[in-house]
Structure 1
């Protein structure tokens, strides 16, 4: 039956006022589609950038790529899911496996098409990944971007092995997942943070070493020194040009930089000498495929890893949730409860 749902749209307004709660027709269901009642959505740094660009969009869009919920209706041809299944949507709904392409990129949730910050979402059955029953919807909502990105960075791009040393920058969603997954794989982990409280929390979660990057601006050299001068095997590089050179300094000869972040911007001067001098691999990471999402789920279940949720907001508090993420006070993920 046709009905309406509540959803947030990014409309052409300044700041977080662009986030507008509206009523709109529920999306139609095709024969290969699955309708999900969204229970929770998590936010990423990308979502802040989408708000900043709201005035440039040609039409309003439902924001946010990451959400989890329960199946409430399936199309006539659906075989992978049933009503009542607990699922989360892939960031790139059409990227099932293999390489990313323009086609998949153009269909990213909350960017190329409507995202998850709505009461109901309809996507093809192949876009939904079944969730472990032990995970809450809030925890599961944190997986599609941050969790899959960390998995891709460590195990697909870098092929992390037990005994390796990983450096993660800060304590945001990707870095905390990186800490958890790397430790579960038997690797040692270095965490950089300017906050003493966050460094203490990282150690409590299993970090082997922490570095205050403000007290030690040459934190790359400090990380390499901690490894006895060998250097780290993998850096999960979330900063971009502002942290690139220190990541190069931290890496061992033949190490891997999984480059995925833009926290310090998209452009800037970097020292390329260290890249070829040390025979480094620099791998661009843009989230991952449905197959990688399924691999992440297996890894989480094998070690019973629990995603770290910093703070949860109600559906009517979406602007507050975005503002809290923008403050940088979080450790782990920021979540919005939808229903």
Structure 2
């Protein structure tokens, strides 16, 4: 009986060791591909150019905010004047927009540039079929593409905001409050999610189309549509189907504005702008129209972090949902794709 127990214990330990070895062998190629993709992305000229452009706009925005920070802090009518480091991200004199506005414009280009040739370039170069011939799971390939680009984007945004905090400590000598630090980290996470949406969209187009030029032009066309033409089309439809706002009562005018805001929030950049503005300006209490009854008795004071997150949670959940849908579609199409030479 003892020999049987020893035998089964040894068999169980051998099986557990083999399972752990298989998990390590499966995880090993994934991290190797992630490191390789990160190195390729960082050394590519398109990332260097876009990262340099984002760094240039960041330095320009910080210079403008630091030049006007004393006026912003001394303004007694501003309930956000005590949040010095949030003011560094939002203060402007009109010559340059704040940094989060630049991210709303340049972030999609960064995500598109990192993902538009993720799959089709590998197939056109003949490296995808050779990679699939190795003992690598198919889903590890597309997961490594996404994770590597996400690591690059996260490192870039986190480094820029830590640079802003360090520069503010050196120049102003004022310690950052914990609530400000958490809000800035939430802003970083929101920026990563926003760029990750465009990254997943470009990866989806890279899986769908075999030519890199087609996937790149399609992604840029979608970005241009939401950035420029969607607002023009919406204005035309509003004038055609909605009544003149000058003839509406107060309640009808509120419903009119809510309809317009609902259609505007189909645009990812609008969701990002609403969320970042609320996080970086704690005095903002609502993203929609308010009646005089709702405003009566309201004290102009900043919201807590929890209340600001509750205000922007619909926008954040919308961006997360769109990102997950794009990644799920690209994952599904890639797993069912026939890969041949």
TM-score (normalised: structure 2): 0.28
Q: Compare the two structures and name the one with the higher strand fraction.
A: 1
Q: Compare the two structures and name the one with the higher helix fraction.
A: 2
Higher relative CO (CA 8 A, sep ≥ 6), structure 1 or 2?
A: 2
TM-score (normalised: structure 1): 0.28
